[in-house]
Structure 1
């Protein structure tokens, strides 16, 4: 296993956090088209070396990217429909109704009712034998390379359509029994539905690979996020039941969560099924390795969400009203990461080691050598020896002003009161200038080799720009960087951000020589380099 001084973090660099759904676009939600490419241009020009996103899998009720129908599939909402129009699979008037949707937030209800019918029209004009995307692999080559997860996923989605999008635990018994899944006979409408979802994945992966190659050319690496748990209502649990502590009919005796913490006085009741770690260890963690290999096709760096759950994890009775009632149980520990290292050597990982961290968790992260995380907002309101205070940071760490789960830094500053406010204002010298810029500068000045900042903090936005509030299920994951704010960021902040990078030595001379002005907002993908 790697050691601390052998971390892949060897240079002082920075990144920005912005989920794909938050990218500017004219079709209701961020996608992998022009807005994504322009954002890469902004990152490279302003001195950033990394772009972090939330999980990119297909989402369902609640719209959380951390509750996906598949640990392997991509979210069809992120498909750039304009490219399908350029390839004669859609007509402009068919896309136009999406251009009526808001640009400053995602209206998931309207998107759901409008998007899928448009995408189905593209599939109806798709001929796998003759269709070819520019610089893309043929459909059949894609399907064969991904069949190990694509077969069960497309079947799962076809059956969800048959049973009114209900969770598989509510399907008839013969469709829930894992011993019968391989014998399921699909009707013609279900076969067509499978074909549609395979097509959607083909387009998604093509567009993602092109974006990733474009980012690589610009010197920007993409950081992905891997939730430790998968959703109960997912193709993974439905088709690979032996990997999880789930009964044949889908019942659960206990579920995943976290105890009371900074975010919630009653903890967070996630409700995900727990892993059958005994079974997984006996086959060398095959499913986990497949999952990570698949993710590393999309990302340059992978963040293990809730890393502490690999050391020990919080088990909540399935009938509990919240997560305050539970027990700690041991996770797989270092054996999982030894298997990963053997199967996928020299990969880049970040350990999200937040929450209640005991010696077992600390030792596991030290054994792996993965850089851990520090959150600037977490350094206050506890004790004087809080390890999240910037003067306690270490080199092998990734520092965030906040994450997708935090309020924006500006809103956090404005929410402070009493002794805590005094402490923060004194520490960052905010009395004359109580803005997020001071905290951003402190993060850049720290000894930590990588700093990642939510775009909301780069713009100094308030609580209206918060992405997610843990423990709540309404109003999350909707914020978007609308075109006007993106112009302000990409045209008005370049000099300020580049100066910040130079001042704190987070950009090297080679990167500076490669900088170029970002393209105008109306530039199309036809004008952009392709891989």
Structure 2
């Protein structure tokens, strides 16, 4: 797949237009996929689809679990079409948006929860019950615990699981002290996953028929307040009370004197290795049921990772610890039946290798022939050996104008240094206006030697900083970019 020359769009599903607060994977998404295919865009890259934590601003990178899906993928229109909810209820579920360019993720979440509750009543009346029971049996290994975790969280006011009564602080203990009065709430969360997966499967099949491939995203770490550390504490660096001993982050660098303290619990890699990384193998298999390929975030952490004592408020006093390296990737290759000796990648994984990358990280990536990432916004400072300059791009790689963590290219250009502007001028052979600079960056990305070329929708729309998806280290105003339907139709034929 990575050996085929393709171009694509970076566009998270919540950024699609729609009347329910944020986009979903229903009719609009299918229409956009059709328009993309008609105009030769055959990769659709999205951010993680995991169930987001509302307390973390609905960040796709801060979820309640590694396997459960975000219920916002559920199309309420499709539920009505399939007879799950009465069509006349749709108007009551619509969300008014004060700013049409910004999604209301909280409102979108409430609308889906209300729609799922209506559909649950149809399930009780027998609607598609056999299909639900089949799904429940197939996914039971993780689905049972998911329902228990979320039902307990609701009953305990949404508090972090480390503050729950002792009898509920692990899946094993919770099942031993289960309150049957919570079972309907647990079943509602399991049923919600059935609806979400059903709609994701329909969307993926539609894209496949069009020749569009879905590129997903997998964060390296999971949240402390989530199902995984609660259900499998032995896989994480936790103390006897369930609190992290050390947490994830990155050390001080050019961009931050104190580094970045992310706060995720770290893995007990030795414990994970005892069953040949079963947790990771299951996680990747599930992700590849959703997507055709997956971008693996913070790839450098698999070679070596920065461990910060949990009591530290910054990342300064951390230490480097060795990652699982080849042992993990050998297990993944064996599990997925990858070809360790062919010309292409041995796994359907994109290695996010941005930032300060050391030789051991590059060796690990090349050992498994995984494509890396090159970003043009990083290209025009430094010398000719800058790996992000187009003439240094690898064929087995992905070229971007920018990523979800970058400013839009217009925003980048308007705040670019004199060195960066001169660098782009020299590369294209002439001075540029702001709009011309964006168009040239898109042209350079699409003409990169890298076989996969990705452009964020905001750059195709020539949008400025107000429309960037995420500002790292900022917790306000992220993840809410929303495209207008008329512009989307004009660009992608959606």
Q: Same fold (TM over 0.5)?
A: yes
Match of 2:449 in 1: 447
The count of aligned residue pairs is 480
Match of 1:207 in 2: 199
Unaligned regions of 5+ residues in structure 1, if any?
A: 1-7, 492-517, 519-531
Are the structure 2 counterparts of residues 288 and 483 from structure 1 closer, same or farther at C-alpha, using a change threshold of 3 Å?
same
SS at match of 1:217: helix
**TM-score normalised over the length of structure 1:** 0.86
- After superposition, what is the alpha-carbon deviation per residue over 1:279-299, rounded to whole angstroms, capped at 9, x for unaligned? 011111011101111111111
C-alpha distance in 1 between matches for 2:314 and 2:389:
31
Match of 1:216 in 2: 208
Match of 1:63 in 2: 58
Match of 1:459 in 2: 461
C-alpha distance in 2 between matches for 1:72 and 1:106:
24
C-alpha distance in 2 between matches for 1:221 and 1:375:
21
Structure 2 residue 36 is the aligned partner of structure 1 residue 43? yes
Match of 1:310 in 2: 302
**TM-score normalised over the length of structure 2:** 0.93
Match of 2:102 in 1: 105
Pairwise CA distance, 1:114: 4.7
C-alpha distance in 1 between matches for 2:286 and 2:364:
24
Are the structure 2 counterparts of residues 300 and 487 from structure 1 closer, same or farther at C-alpha, using a change threshold of 3 Å?
same
C-alpha distance in 2 between matches for 1:481 and 1:429:
33
**Is the 1:259–1:323 contact (alpha carbons within 8 Å) kept by the matching residues of 2?**
yes
Pairwise CA distance, 1:452: 1.0
Match of 2:343 in 1: none
SS at match of 1:272: strand
Are the structure 2 counterparts of residues 441 and 475 from structure 1 closer, same or farther at C-alpha, using a change threshold of 3 Å?
same
SS at match of 2:94: helix
Q: How does 1:110-149 map to 2 (within 5 A)?
A: 110-127=107-124, 130-132=126-128, 138-149=131-142
Match of 1:194 in 2: 186
Match of 1:329 in 2: 321
SS at match of 1:25: coil
Pairwise CA distance, 1:181: 3.4
Pairwise CA distance, 1:94: 3.2
Are the structure 2 counterparts of residues 382 and 322 from structure 1 closer, same or farther at C-alpha, using a change threshold of 3 Å?
farther
Are the structure 2 counterparts of residues 430 and 271 from structure 1 closer, same or farther at C-alpha, using a change threshold of 3 Å?
farther
SS at match of 2:280: helix
Structure 2 residue 173 is the aligned partner of structure 1 residue 180? yes
Match of 1:78 in 2: 73
- After superposition, what is the alpha-carbon deviation per residue over 1:462-483, rounded to whole angstroms, capped at 9, x for unaligned? 1111000011111100001121
SS at match of 2:434: coil
Are the structure 2 counterparts of residues 77 and 148 from structure 1 closer, same or farther at C-alpha, using a change threshold of 3 Å?
same
Unaligned regions of 5+ residues in structure 2, if any?
A: 339-346
**Is the 1:176–1:248 contact (alpha carbons within 8 Å) kept by the matching residues of 2?**
no
User: Which one of 237, 244, 252 corresponds to residue 229 of structure 2?
Assistant: 237
Pairwise CA distance, 1:221: 0.8
Structure 2 residue 424 is the aligned partner of structure 1 residue 424? yes
C-alpha distance in 1 between matches for 2:261 and 2:93:
35
C-alpha distance in 2 between matches for 1:95 and 1:324:
51
Work out which structure has the larger RCO, using CA pairs closer than 8 Å and 6 or more positions apart in sequence. Answer: 1
SS at match of 2:263: coil
**Is the 1:310–1:332 contact (alpha carbons within 8 Å) kept by the matching residues of 2?**
yes
CA RMSD between the two structures:
1.9
SS at match of 1:9: coil
C-alpha distance in 1 between matches for 2:254 and 2:28:
34
- After superposition, what is the alpha-carbon deviation per residue over 1:340-359, rounded to whole angstroms, capped at 9, x for unaligned? 00010234111111121101
SS at match of 1:323: coil
Pairwise CA distance, 1:91: 3.2
Match of 1:166 in 2: 159
